[in-house]
Amino acid sequence: MPDTLPQSTETSLLQRLASAKEKASLEEEVLSFYDLFQTRLLRYAVSLGLKTQDAEDIIQEVFLALFRHLQLGRSRENLRGWIFRVTHNLALKRRIRYRREDLADEGGHDLLASSLTNPEEELLFSERQTRLRRAFSALPEADRLCLQLRAEGLKYREIADVLGISLGSVANSLGRSMSRLRRSDGESAG
């Protein structure tokens, strides 16, 4: 009995072994992305009006799509923007499917426990938060989305890619939004 395998069997085994190593490496890479972005993507999906459970489902779909994307050898350029764009698109599809009025303030929008020292400061803080939330809600949807993505740390170009709008539109939207929020906040201070 020979000690060596036929060349075709050996090549096949080596290819399967290389494929298994590549798959493990991709799994590690996707898990690393998951650890870095899961919370931010979840918060973004919830901010688009999804229930937390639906948003969690979306995030799982996003990372499965990322694994398939990388497994097929597709572009690795701007993966952060890619996962936000996929989250955005899937969340909008889900929101259309499960449109409900009572989702606006669910999960993720709760105020953190206040560390203010007296009731007067807590009341002022709460009133300011309410005014800013109303001003934010009054913004056009595109402006809210730009502001939310910027708050998640995306760059202007990444926001443009996620939302499918021009870089100038992102800059104008953010400028307009910040101006409205400052005015709303200034009216309360004055």
User: Residue 149 pLDDT > 80, yes or no?
Assistant: yes
Average of per-residue pLDDT values in the chain: 81
Between 26 and 123, residue with greater pLDDT: 26
Q: Which of 45-54, 99-108, 112-121 has the lowest mean pLDDT?
A: 99-108
- Domain ranges in the chain? 7-109, 111-190
111-190 has the same fold as 7-109:
no
Q: What is the mean pLDDT of residues 46-67?
A: 91
Digit-coded pLDDT (tens) for 16-25: 655 666 778 8
Q: State the Cα–Cα distance between residues 12 and 186, nearest whole angstrom.
A: 69
Is residue 149 within 8 A of residue 159, CB to CB? The reply is: yes
Q: Could you tell me which CATH number the domain at 111-190 has?
A: 1.10.10.10
7-47 vs 141-151: helix crossing angle, rounded to 10: 120
CA dihedral sign, ordered 84, 90, 94, 97 = positive
Of 106, 111, 124, nearest to 54 by C-alpha is: 106
Is residue 86 within 8 A of residue 44, CB to CB? The reply is: no
Q: What is the mean pLDDT of residues 145-152?
A: 90
Q: State the Cα–Cα distance between residues 160 and 170, nearest whole angstrom.
A: 6
Q: State the Cα–Cα distance between residues 116 and 100, nearest whole angstrom.
A: 34
User: Residue 115 pLDDT > 50, yes or no?
Assistant: no
Is residue 132 within 8 A of residue 185, CB to CB? The reply is: yes
User: Residue 78 pLDDT > 70, yes or no?
Assistant: yes
Q: Could you tell me which CATH number the domain at 7-109 has?
A: 1.10.1740.10
Is residue 94 within 8 A of residue 54, CB to CB? The reply is: yes
Predicted pLDDT at 35: 94
